[in-house]
Amino acid sequence: MSRTSYREALREAMREALARDPRVFLMGEDVGRYGGTFAVSKGLVDEFGEQRVRDTPLSELAFVGAGIGAALGGMRPIVEVMTVNFCLLALDQLMNTAATLRHMSGGQFSVPLVVRMTTGAGRQLAAQHSHSLEGWLAHIPGLKILAPATLEDARGMLWPALEDPDPVLLFEQGALYNVEGELDETEVVGIRSARVRRAGSDLTLIAYGGTLAKALEAAEQLAGEGISAEVIDLRVLRPLDDATIMESVRRTRRALVVDEGWRSGSLAAEIIARIVEQAFFDLDAPPARVCSAEVPTPYAKHLEDAALPQVPAIVAAARGLLGR
């Protein structure tokens, strides 16, 4: 065990990858001399040089495309996109190129690209920097979508992502960067499955990324009321780990999805649809969800708080599932 932060864990993962494999390099806006907008890559340019930690022009379309080209050429690029909102500028590259090349080339080309980006709200960065669009990207076949919510996943997901022959998108919830704790270095981190972060028997809270901590806090409060909540950390948003979800929901018979995305057409909607498809006859309550209010994320602190899934709303929805 060692004391660290989510930000440092991500940096450590990149440092390890850069040291371990000469094909790995990092590029993005301000990742070099400035050390990254969120200081994740701070110090790496001094250690590995400007060839391997590269500042790019302000064009997501261009540098994501360059990353795809590098991956096709045999490199293992890590591309940092400042926030998920800006990745929309690169959506053509992500969707029409990275996600499709293996299929369109009949399996001749792989795109072993990793794109890291910040997602989510909670830091008063307003509507252009605060949305949770990972659900959109999780809609696209050909991409793998990861959402590290713990120190261990922040530290451990990058390497298997780089080893994956296909494009992997890593979503870092911005409010997590400063989270500190003890990192369990013995934990083996894979990128295939969801994990049960807290065992329980009365209902299953399904969360990921920024909502995991809230779900765990809600579970703790619920325990005080005699309600035993199991908490699943999805970790992998595409492909979804149905088996872990269904195993849990069949046992607890109640499901509540906590998703920072907007409700309509959300990842939460997809998860509930799967639960209803696969576990309908085991349900003892209609599945429920707590999502963000369907507004552009507000800037004002009290409005931003009100727009996001919060612990009291999760607790109330959980009670509702038990008829309380």
Partner 1 sequence: MIEFRMPSLGADMDAGTLLQWQVAPGDAVHRGQVVAVVDTAKAAVEIECWQEGRVFELLIQPGDKVPVGTPIATLLEAGGSAETAPRRPAPVAARKAAQPQTPNPPPAATPGAAPATRTRITPVARQRAAELGIDAATLTGTGPQGAVTLADVEAVATQKPAVQPATAQDRHAAMRQAIAAAMSRSKREIPHYYLSETVPMAVALAWLAAYNAELPPERRLLPGVLVLKAVALALGDYPQLNGYWIDGAFRPGPGIHLGVAVALRQGGLIAPALHDVASKPLPQLMEELGDLVQRARSYSLRSSELSEATLTVTQLGDQGVDGVFGVIYPPQVALVGVGRIAERPWVEDGRVCALACAQFSLAADHRASDGHYGASFLAEVRRRLQQPDSL
Q: Which residues bind partner 1 (CB under 8 A)?
A: 253, 263, 280-286, 288-290, 312-313, 316-317, 319-324
Q: Which is nearer to partner 1, 117 or 275 (CB)?
A: 275
Tokens of 203: 């209902």
User: Residue 111: phi, psi to the nearest 5?
Assistant: -120, 85
**Shortest distance (Å) from residue 262 CB to partner 1:** 12
Instruction: Find out whether the peptide bond into 298 is cis, omega within 30 degrees of 0.
Output: no
Question: Is 139 among the catalytic positions?
Answer: no
| Inter-residue contact 144 to 166 (CB < 8 Å) | yes
Question: In the 8-state DSSP scheme, what is residue 93?
Answer: I
CB of 291 to partner 1, least distance (A): 8
Smallest distance, partner 1 to C-beta of residue 70, A: 44
Least distance in Å: CB of 295 to partner 1?
A: 13
Shortest separation between residue 320's beta carbon and partner 1, angstroms: 5
> Taking the complex as a whole, how short is the minimal distance between the CB of residue 319 and partner 1, in angstroms?
8
Helix boundaries (H) for the chain: 6-20, 44-48, 60-72, 91, 101-104, 134-137, 151-156, 158-163, 212-224, 242-252, 267-279, 301-307, 311-321
Distance in angstroms (rounded) separating the CA atoms of residues 313 and 189: 31
Q: Which of 29, 60, 80, 270 is catalytic?
A: 60
103 is catalytic: no
Distances (CA, A) of 28 to 48, 161, 306: 15, 18, 33
Residue number, 72 or 313, with CB nearest to partner 1: 313
Question: What span, in angstroms and rounded, lies between the C-alpha atoms of 86 and 262?
Answer: 18
Residue whose CB is less far from partner 1, 157 or 291: 291
Nearer to partner 1, 52 or 263 (CB): 263
8, 29, 80, 129: which is the annotated catalytic residue? 129
Q: Which is nearer to partner 1, 162 or 315 (CB)?
A: 315
Q: Which residues contact 101 (CB under 8 A, 6 or more apart)?
A: 68, 72, 109, 110, 111
- What DSSP letter does each residue of 117-134 carry, written as one string? EEE--SSS--TTT----H
In whole angstroms, what is the distance from residue 214 CA to residue 290 CA? 11
- C-alpha–C-alpha distance, residues 6 and 175, integer Å: 10
Choose between 234 and 275: whose C-beta lies nearer to partner 1: 275
Task: List the catalytic residues.
Answer: 60, 129
